[in-house]
Amino acid sequence: MWGTRAVTSDAMPSPTTSLPTVLEVLPGTPAEVAGLRAGDELVSINGVVPNDVIEYQQLIDDRDPELMLRRLGDEFSTVISKAEGEPIGIRLNASIFDRVQTCDNHCEFCFIYQLPPGMRKSLYLKDDDYRLSFLYGNFTTLTRFTELDLSRVVEDRLGPLYVSIHATDPDIRAEMLRNRRGATSLRWLSALLEADIAVHGQVVLCPGINNGAVLEQTLAETITRYPKLATLGIVPLGLSKYNKEANLRVHTPSEAADDLEVIHFWQDRALDAVGRRIFQASDELYVQAGVDVPPSSSYEAFEQHENGIGMIRAFYDELDRLEHGSAATAPIVTGEWRSMPAAPAEGYRAPRHLSDDPGADDGPAVIVTGVYGRKVIEPVLGRIERLAGRSIRLLSVPNDFFGGNTAVAGLMVGQDIKRSFEADFEPAGAYVLPDVALSGDTFIDDMSLSAVADSAKAPVVVAEATVAGLLGAVR
């Protein structure tokens, strides 16, 4: 909860076709030797025009590939002298070069529909593209998936993918997606699993719609119909004050506790049937129910960590290890982009340009987090202080921008943080922000990191949302 990432982001390519542009050429690499420059546009590789960074990577892995480039309007070709499989040493500005497959569902619970008007257009773009699912862990409904897509996924072994299931009952799923294809598109999930493509699923749990008995049916049918599904994350509905759907509401604590009982019951059934628990409840559901999160074994490989599942347990486990002198380890990030050197590190992974040095100001370090984050960190704050060797206090930021039950750190916005800084009159040596609240140098409300930092009375540092990240920032 200190680090749950935003559920909506403009960290995605434009829906229109464009040539990929070189953002960076690493020194001493084959690309630099060949004379490539930032700003060069990539036209083709060995005569083939790649549609995305996945195809780019396959083409560029050849020995001595020939690139057609465009520089200041002029096209020219160059051969990159390198061994087969050797990276050429560039980073591109996009991961999808042709049109992004946009979403044609109209899910009543979609958070994009709950954004306030007047924000930058890219925030309202909904994607349903399996390539972004593979690259960044975005969830796809498969309602626009085709035989051609299936053929490519299977041939190129593009897994894991992330699929929004919500309900296995075809009528309920179609109604939730507000798309009649929602009743049949899970056939593609069966096809992917039969081809041994790793898939992680998700259920957005809406009280009165797909929880309770419907959730029971979904979990039971997952075991029988989709036993190869790697995991199924169950996350509670998030509502902002801009929600216009009268039938949507958040869980009561008792409802959250009841749904957790259902999930725990079917975890045991799945463990007996297929040897894995499959089903994993969101940390937020435990917080809403006022129930302690389960032990690490319940999360198995923490494969939905970035979906807000197992973050609290991973955080506490990391703290335990550090207190006992063990190495600080944390679950890896979702998506495969890191294995593709040219793919841009988007969203909270994008580089920032504010100094990471909080300076040597007197006063305690101040951990800035959301309302849920405070509930997670407060019980162990003394332990973190002892490891850091420095006084630390918490500053929880109410999410007035979105309102509703929006309380995760990943959806904190710049103007709310700025307001909290201006109202904070207690001593502060440095303010520590979680990286998941940012896309590069910008918060989701389009306020820059520097503008927020200028309002603080002490230096501001952005930290990775782990115990080690916190300690590195406050020491």
Give the tens place of pLDDT for each residue, 293-340: 999 999 999 999 989 999 999 999 999 999 998 887 777 666 666 667
What percentage of residues in the chain have a pLDDT greater than 70? 92
Return the CATH architecture of domain 22-92. Roll (2.30)
The mean pLDDT value for 171-175 works out to 97
Do 22-92 and 111-338 show the same overall fold? no
Amino acid (one-letter) located at 225 = R
Bridge partners (DSSP) listed for residue 431? 366, 460
Q: Is the model's pLDDT at 14 over the cut of 90?
A: no
Q: Is the model's pLDDT at 360 over the cut of 60?
A: no
Give the tens place of pLDDT for each residue, 200-210: 999 999 999 99
Give the tens place of pLDDT for each residue, 408-450: 999 999 999 999 999 999 999 999 999 999 988 899 999 999 9
Structure-block tokens of residue 264: 């725990």
CATH number at 111-338: 3.20.20
DSSP strand pairing (231-236 vs 279-281): parallel
The mean pLDDT value for 104-121 works out to 88
The full set of domain ranges for the chain reads 22-92, 111-338, 347-474
pTM value?
Answer: 0.91
pLDDT at 212: 96
The mean pLDDT value for 240-264 works out to 96
The mean pLDDT value for 161-183 works out to 97
pLDDT at 4: 58
DSSP collapsed to 3 states, the chain: CCCCCCCCCCCCCCCCCCCCEEEEECCCCHHHHCCCCCCCEEEEECCECCCEHHHHHHHHCCCCCEEEEEECCEEEEEECCCCCCCCCCEEECCCECCCCCECCCCCCCCHHHHCCCCCCHHHHCCECCHHHHHHHCCCECCCCCCHHHHHHHHHHCCCCEEEECCCCCHHHHHHHHCCHHHHCCCHHHHHHHHCCCCEEEEEEECCCCCCHHHHHHHHHHHHHHCCCCCEEEEEECCCCCCCCCCCCCCCCHHHHHHHHHHHHHHHHHHHHHHCCCCEEECHHHHHHHCCCCCCHHHHCCCCCHHHCCCHHHHHHHHHHHHHCCCCCCCCCCCCCHHHCCCCCCCHHHCCCCCCCCCCCCCCCEEEEECHHHHHHHHHHHHHHHHHHCCCEEEEECCCCCCCCCCCCHHHCCHHHHHHHHHCCCCCCCEEEEEHHHEECCEECCCCEHHHHHHCCCCCEEEECCCHHHHHHHHC
